[in-house]
Amino acid sequence: MDKKFEEAIRRIDARNSEDPNKEEFNNGKIAPKELLYSQRMTQHLEDFAPDAPEELKIAARAQHICRWKVERSEYPSTRVGYLKWRNELKKLHAQITGEILEEVGYDEEFIDRVKFLIQKKKIKKDEDSQTLEDVICLVFLEYYLKDFAAKHEDEKVVDIIRKTWAKMSEKGHEAALELPLDDRSKTLVKQALS
């Protein structure tokens, strides 16, 4: 990869390193939550689509850039409130990433493509958008499902897994079934798919 790409990733990581929320991983290590998320996104993308274009690699890394700046509590705790929050986040992630890419010298066409991907447009119709959605779902299932399931009733978790599954491609489903899930998560996935 060229210097522009490396600098873009460095700047995305620097922004995500500012996350005041921390997450414990690998038996006691602590990292800024969104920095860790972005690294997990990159790793899963490399495993899932090793030949992914540069735009997709940047979109995956920047998927949650500065997410903590728009708190869920600022929106009503309804489905409509949740969707509004998610849409505001997508715009924020695309805007910040676009600014970084412009600063490091990418052209407008490249930047627009990355912003398109970050906003998850045309899933099921655009191959890179679908790949990004698959990777998002794989990261959720592997790293975040267990904690989510611990806080919610099985019925709600099964419903979320079904909705997650519906967003994924056949290739994504195959990859998901190979994930190293804990026993409870495996059981919940089986329930969701039955």
Question: What pLDDT, in 10s, does the model give residues 96-105?
Answer: 999 999 999 9
23 and 113, same domain (yes or no):
yes
147 and 109, same domain (yes or no):
no
pLDDT of residue 77: 87
Instruction: Write down the pTM of the prediction.
Output: 0.92
Tell me the per-residue pLDDT of 98-130, one tens digit each, with 9 for 90 and over: 999 999 999 999 999 999 999 988 888 999 999
Of 119, 138, 163, which one is at a domain's C-terminal end? Answer: 119
Average pLDDT over residues 122-143: 94
pLDDT of residue 1: 56
147 and 105, same domain (yes or no):
no
Q: Which residue has the tokens 């929050």?
A: 85
93 and 183, same domain (yes or no):
no
Domain that holds residue 46: 1-119
180 and 158, same domain (yes or no):
yes
The b/e string for 136-146 (b: 16+ C-beta within 10 A; e otherwise) is bbbbbbbbebe
pLDDT band at 82 (very low <50, low <70, confident <90, very high): confident
